[in-house]
Structure formats: C-alpha cells, structure tokens
Amino acid sequence: MEGVLEVQQLDTDRLFWRAEVGGVTKEWYARIAKQVPDQVVSWYSEAGVNTGGEVTFRPIEGGRTDVTLEMAYEPEDIVESVGDKLGFVSRRVEGDLKRFKEFIEQRGEETGAWRGSIRNFS
C-alpha cells in the first residue's frame, strides 16, 4: 500500500500502523472488530489517527470475487482536509485496491497468514 511504512500485528486482533500522509508520518493502533475468512474484515482505530472501515468479499461467477471497501478517515489538520476534498485520499485508496488485486491474482494462493474468526463488539 502506498504510503504505508510499517504494520505490526501485535496480537490476534490488534495492529500498529505507521504511514506517510501528505508528507507527514502518522501512527495509530487499530483493532479488528470482525473477521470472517473470505467474507469480511472490519476495524477501528483505538489511538492516533481516527480511522475505521470494513472490507467485504463476495464470490461472483467465473471464480472471481467482488471486493467492497467502506472506510472513514478524519483529517487532522487543514492540509489533510484540503487533500481529502481534492480527492487525494480516495485516489490513493483506489490505487491500493488495484495493487491488492494484482498481488492476489499473481500469487494465486493464500499467504499462509492466520485466517481465524474475530468478533469484537466493543
């Protein structure tokens, strides 16, 4: 993903993110609220950048998958607000989704990462 400098999985449902947004390094902790393999992953931030969202995966014909992303991000200053209004965030996310698609299609198999279910409704 463009701009992502580091992601650490701290435990089953908690991650630390470090990314460059508008030339500034941002850090935050995120918790996976829901994970159902091959269906959905949703998250929310616990500290740092205010973000959250959900990615859903729906099988479609031809062995393909429809991927839908809903994401919320709260700009922290005027520069981020202007960048958001100009569509910089949306274009970056769209580019990341295209790169994710290419990665998955080229790989052709699972990464071997843990694929268990999580349900945190806090």
Does 77 map to a domain? yes
Residue pLDDT, tens place only, 52-84: 999 999 999 988 889 898 988 877 778 777 777
Domain assignment of residue 97, yes or no: yes
Nearest to 119 by CA among 51, 29, 42, 57: 42
Rounded to 5, what percent of the chain is helix, strand, coil? Answer: 25, 50, 25
Answer whether residue 47 is part of any domain: yes
Q: Is residue 56 part of a domain?
A: yes
Is 11 a domain residue?
Answer: no
In a domain, 46, yes or no: yes
Indicate whether 16 belongs to any domain. Answer: no
Range of the domain at 81: 31-111
Tell me if 117 is assigned to some domain. no
Is residue 89 within 8 A of residue 22, CB to CB? The reply is no
Q: How many domains does the chain have?
A: 1
Per-residue model confidence as pLDDT tens digits over 17-27? 998 877 788 89
| Tokens (6 digits) for 20 | 């460059």
Distance CA 41, CA 34 (A): 6
